[in-house]
Amino acid sequence: MGGPGSSPCASCKLLRRRCAKDCIFAPYFPPDDPHKFAIVHKVFGASNVSKMLQELLVHQRADAVNSLVFEANARVRDPVYGCVGAISYLQNQVSQLQMQLAVAQAEILCIQMQHEPTLQSHHQVLELDQDDKALLLHNNIDNCNNNNNNNLGYAMSSGQFNSNFASPSSIMQMQMQMQDPLKQESLWT
């Protein structure tokens, strides 16, 4: 914390001003990490960050600062796409994994249907030829794609980013469908 006799916080040092006892930045921008504030100031501006923090409850501010630092770093690394580049990449990963999962689940179904003994004794033997297997697989993948289209996928497919972008609120609806997000500590490292 700033005050007489103590070192000014990183923000007040950069802004070359007196670090007040109740400086809003001091708890989150210690003097031993000047880069943290410098990057946030470069992207968002000190007054915008101050306004944002003032609008939050005190216990929310540390996480807010960490997320702003993360976004600022992403924007400096990728001045065109910032964090959106990372979101696009992760969404592609999700899509690919869901496709692989659909393929694996179709394969399990095939194996179960081929080797289920009760089916053979009581029903006509279900001989799955290549076309049947392909259809089963295709249906599984379609179900997977339909689920995908209800979330971030349709807005950010294939790393392309265009103005026909889904609103963050529709993407946030994904939060309701998924389990509660784990705000992982590892994100900040």
Partner 1 sequence: MNPKRCAACKYLRRRCPKDCIFSPYFPPSDPDKFACIHRIYGAGNVSKMLQQIPVQTRAEAVESLSFEAKCRVEDPVYGCVGIISLLQTEIQKTQTLLARTQAEITVAQAKHSQTQVNEFM
> Interface residues with partner 1 (CB under 8 A)?
42-45, 47-48, 52, 55-56, 60, 63-64, 67-68, 70-71, 75, 79-87, 90-91, 93-94, 97-98, 100-101, 104-105, 107-108, 111-112, 115, 152, 161-163, 165, 167-169, 171-172, 174-175, 178-179, 181-184, 187
Q: Which is nearer to partner 1, 42 or 138 (CB)?
A: 42
Task: Give me the least distance between CB of 2 and partner 1, in Å please.
Answer: 24
Buried/exposed code over 112-148 (b: 16+ C-beta within 10 A; e: otherwise): eeeeeeeeeeeeeeeeeeeeebeebbeebbeebeeeb
Q: 77 near 114, Cβ under 8 Å? A: no
- Spatial CA neighbour of 174 closest among 151, 144, 155: 151
Pick 5 or 168: Cβ nearer partner 1: 168
What is the DSSP secondary-structure string of 5-20? TSPPPHHHHHHTS---
Give the whole-angstrom CA distance, residue 74 versus residue 131: 47
Shortest reach from residue 122's CB to partner 1, in Å = 19
CB 6 → partner 1: shortest distance, Å? 28
Give 19 or 65: the residue with its C-beta nearer to partner 1. 65
Shorter beta-carbon distance to partner 1: residue 86 or 137: 86
